Amino acid sequence: PTICLFSELIKNAAPEFETAPTRANDPAYWMYTSGTAGTPKAVIHAHRSIPAHDERIKLWQDLQRGDVVFNTSAMNWSYALTAGMLDCWRHGTGVVSYEGPMEARLLAEIICKKRVTSLLTVPGIYRRLVRFLANEGESATVGLQKLRVALSAGESLAAATRERFRQHTGLTIREGLGMTEHSVYLVQAVDQALVPGSCGRPLPGQRIDVLQEASSKGVLQYASTGPNEMGILATHYTCPGLMLGYHGQSEAETFQGGWFLSGDLAKRDAEGNFFFLGRRDDVITAGGYRISPLEVEAVLNQCPLVAEAAVIGKPVVDDKIIVCAYVVLVETATVAQQDEIMAYAREHLAGYKVPRDVIVTKALPKTRNGKLKRLELRTDNA
C-alpha cells in the first residue's frame, strides 16, 4: 500500500467534504480492550454509537460552546477517544492532546496555557494534582480558573481526593463508569446529588442491570438482583452505544439472553444508584467472605502514608487466600511505617477486609492509560 503523510492528505484534499452514505448499524471504528484481564479483543462499534453519546455529553460532560477539553489518557482508550475527541468534534469544541510525562506540574501548565475548561482524567492524576496544589499553595490554582468541569473514570475515586480537589479549585469531580464495549454509561450527572461510593445512574436510553446467574432444567438464565445484592453488571443489546460485537466472535458468544455481560461486579440501591465492586475475577474469597478489592483500596488510598494502593487475593498454605495489599508510599513515608498503615486499615475496615500482608513497592503495574494490571500482581504471587 502507498504510505502518505496525513499533512499531505489534508493539503491536497478537496475544499468541500462529502460524507459517505452510512446506516446506523454499519461498522464505524474498531477499538481494542485493554487486556488487563487477558488477551485484548477487537471491539466493533457502529455509527450509531457517536450520537448515542449525546445524553452523556449533556448530563455528565456538560459540554458547552467554546469549551476546551483535555483528556490526559491515550487515544487507544474509549474514554479518551470518545469523550476526549470524537464527541468534541461532533459538537465543535476545542481539544487538547498530550502524550508526555504525567507530572502534575506539567499538566497544570497545560491546563493554564491552553485555557482548559474540561479536565477528563483518572483518580491517580487527581491525586498527583492535589499534592501539587497543596505544596504550591494558592498561586498554583490561579492558572486553573478557566476550569469548569472535572471528570474521572477508570477506577473508583477516593472521597478524600474529591474533597481536597474541591478545596483547592472549588470544583466537584464527577465519576463515570464505562468500558471499551460501551464507553461511559453510568454517570454522576450534573443535576444529581453525589451518593457516597456510587458511580452514578444509567444515562437515559441505556438499559443497564445487575444480574444473577440461575439454572433452570440445565439452561443458564439471568435475573435482576434485589437492592444491594452483588451481581454481574450487564447491558441490554438494544442500547445504542453498545458495540456490534467482537471481531471473530459470533453474536451467540457475545450476548447471553439479550444481554452483554461485562465481567464486572456491581450492586444497586433502592434508589437506582449503582456501585462498582470490581472485575468478577478480582473479587477475593477469603475466610468465607467475598471481598471487593476496590473497597479496601479506597480506604488505603486515604491513609496519609500511602500514595497509591492495589489489593489482591494472595494464595498461601493449603490453598488458603488472604487479602494482600501493595502500596506505594508518599515521599515522606518509610518502609518502617508499615505497621501504621496496618493500624489505619484496622481502624477503617471490617476485620475480614483488613490486609494480612502489606508489600511496599516503588510503582504499581499499569497500562499506558493508568489502569491497574492486577493480573501481574497475581502472577507474582502464584
Q: What is the pLDDT of residues 343-361, one digit of tens each?
A: 999 999 999 999 999 999 9
CB 121 within 8 A of CB 72: yes
**Residue 373's pLDDT is what?**
83
Confidence of residue 298 (pLDDT cuts 50, 70, 90): confident
Across the chain, how many H-helices and E-strands are there?
A: 12, 20
Whether pLDDT at 382 is above 60: no
**Residue 152's pLDDT is what?**
95
C-alpha dist (Å) from residue 92 to 97, 151, 213, 343: 15, 19, 44, 51
46 DSSP β-pair partners = 27
- For residue 344 the three cell numbers come to 489505619
Whether pLDDT at 40 is above 90: no
**Overall average pLDDT of the 149-153 stretch:** 95
Whether pLDDT at 132 is above 70: yes
User: Closest by alpha carbon to 333, among 309, 299, 353?
Assistant: 309
- What is the spatial distance between Cα 232 and Cα 224, in angstroms, rounded to a whole number? 9
User: Closest by alpha carbon to 282, among 290, 274, 272?
Assistant: 290
Whether pLDDT at 29 is above 70: yes
Which pLDDT tens digit goes with each residue over 169-178? Answer: 999 999 999 9
Per mean pLDDT, which of 112-116, 137-141, 158-162, 214-218 is the most reliable?
112-116
Whether pLDDT at 36 is above 70: no
Whether pLDDT at 137 is above 90: no
Which pLDDT tens digit goes with each residue over 217-259? Answer: 666 778 899 999 989 999 999 999 999 999 998 888 889 889 9
Using a pLDDT cut of 70, give the percent of the chain over it.
96
Angle at 334 between CA 333 and CA 335, to 5 degrees: 135
**Residue 347's pLDDT is what?**
95
Burial class of residue 98 in the structure, from the number of CB atoms within 10 Å of its CB (0-12 exposed, 13-18 middle, 19+ buried) = middle
Query: What 3-state DSSP class applies to 53?
Result: helix
**Overall average pLDDT of the 166-188 stretch:** 93
**Overall average pLDDT of the 282-301 stretch:** 86
Whether pLDDT at 74 is above 90: no
Name the average pLDDT for the chain: 89
**Residue 37's pLDDT is what?**
58
Q: Rg for the chain (alpha carbons), in Å?
A: 22
266 DSSP β-pair partners = 231, 276
**Overall average pLDDT of the 96-113 stretch:** 92
